[in-house]
Amino acid sequence: MAWRTLIILSTAVLIFSISPLPEHLLNRLRSFERLRGFEPQPKRYWDEKLGRYSSHFWKPGDPCPTEIHGVPFSLQPYGAHVFRDNNFDSVRDIHEALLRCDAVQGIYLRIPPGMCLGEVAGFTWPLNPTGDDRYLSAPKIVSLGGYGTRGCEVVRRPLLPPDGWMRRNWVALCSWVRWQSSTIPRWKGETKSNFELWLDAMDFSQVHTLHLNSSMVISPESARLLAATLPRLETLIVDGHESRDFLLNLPPNSLKHLTWNNMHVSNIPRWFHQKISLIPIFQHHGASLLSLALHADETPRHSPPSLATDDIQQLAILAPNLENLTLNLGRHKPKGYNDVIWPWDTLKLIATGFPELTHLTVYFPLASPCRRANSWRAVAPGCEGVKQYWKPILTVRAAREMAEYLARHKKGRKLEAVTVRSGDWEEGYKKTLGWAKFGRQEGEKRVWFDGKKIWVHCVLEEGEEGRVQCNGGDTLGLGETDCWDEYRFVGFREGEGIGVDWWDRVCFGDEKKGEDAEKEVL
């Protein structure tokens, strides 16, 4: 008798797990979850208007918002101070708001890594598998942080069900079964993926700004589908090597502003470096681009790749209308010279090759080779203090020399501003979520490098002989650099040494006195 009961129960569980649940059973599961307290309790967030913490998140019945800032509730322990503008705490409430409200202008959704394990039902949109759901709003700005277009059903399936608390938690188990039942038909080819259902439900025709900051993957098929829904896209911010397919699927010469972060880093396999040709991207979008940012984050172990001279030359030809340019550059070691110097030849190429350029931002590596060789150590023997940092170290003095050099060689419109940075400029909320591009396991290895940065912003005054005004700062605590030591690293501009006259003028002349008076030296 016992074994018959066991067989019946096992068969029922098997059928229940592999077949889609009827709507009335799903409603009962939702009711059961609410009774058991599965629904998230309101969390505190910072209300700028009230000037204090508030505990109210949007719920059905509240007035419709014009912007949605959503972070799933399981993310809240990561720190409310990072997301003080958050007014939604679950994907289900965001879904309900979009079904009811027709005036939402912006959607800002941040999803942490591992969402499939922390909150099974919260990662994907709770859309009807039949494809009947339609959102009323046509947003103009969409920002998705950590949202993977392949979704849990492809990337995370081998990890489910997880060990530990889920086996002992009945509510979570019910949620997992519901998720399982909604994704199996996709594997059978009977319905669309959750991402495809979302594309059908949402009106993307008015989106002019899209931010896809994803630690997941934009698959080639997803790239094609998403690009077809964005006829008015002008500003795009993407992340990772896989974004290349999406960029090439957009209509040619449709983008005006492009930011591509960490283009050399592949997400499958995770944190794998890829060599990438930028020429097809420049050919596809260059003629319409007004601003371009090709920036890679520096980590203790890896120096960000600098844009090759050939790529800069091709970019100058294919994107002649660029007004704002951001890129990584490396230092240069000329033949017959013992020291590494600033890349004067590359700076001259930028100044002469982009006639419309008015704003330039350059990133230089900070960590020295000896420090990278000991990135796993909190303190590297023989590589302490200033030796941790790659010489020449960026200073206000060096940045001013670069800005003046660029201004002297500039063709076309005059430069208005030059910003030079070095060090750890990775976005704070990404590190809070563990989204460092080289993995969570590098968290401890990043300790010595976190927050170490140098910045200098130079403004070029109007007039043929306009003065360059520079202000900067740093978090290194090194104090003022030795002027003679810095002089050694400036040389060989245009193939010749600067000469003692530069050293006399900068280190002992009126320029040095002016710097001391203004306290501009780092």
Structural domain boundaries of the chain? 28-233, 318-522
Contact 287, 321 (CB under 8 A): yes
Q: Residue 454: which of 506, 522, 515, 521 has the closest Cα?
A: 522
Contact 139, 106 (CB under 8 A): yes
**Other Cβ atoms closer than 10 A to 130:** 10
The Cα 79–Cα 410 span in angstroms is: 46
Tokens representing 423? Answer: 């060090």
Three-state SS for 502?
Answer: helix
Give the pLDDT score at 177.
Answer: 53
**Other Cβ atoms closer than 10 A to 146:** 25
Q: Is the peptide bond prior to 269 cis by the omega test (within 30 degrees of 0)?
A: yes
Return the DSSP state at 216: S
Tokens representing 27? Answer: 């409603």
pTM for the whole structure: 0.75
The Cα 364–Cα 480 span in angstroms is: 19
The Cα 57–Cα 38 span in angstroms is: 16
Q: Is the peptide bond prior to 161 cis by the omega test (within 30 degrees of 0)?
A: yes
Give the pLDDT score at 282.
Answer: 94
Average pLDDT over the chain, rounded to an integer? 72
The Cα 90–Cα 428 span in angstroms is: 22
Give the pLDDT score at 271.
Answer: 43
Per residue in 328-371, pLDDT tens?
A: 999 887 766 666 889 999 999 999 999 999 999 999 999 888 88
- Please state the rounded mean pLDDT for residues 298-317: 88
The letter for the amino acid at 52 is R
Give the pLDDT score at 383.
Answer: 83
Percentage of the residues of the chain whose pLDDT score is greater than 90: 32
- SS3 for 225-272, per residue? HHHCCCCCCCEEEEECCCHHHHHHHCCCCCCCEEEEECCCEEECCEEE
Q: For residue 167, how many C-alpha atoms fall within 13 Å in the half-sphere facing its CB? A: 5
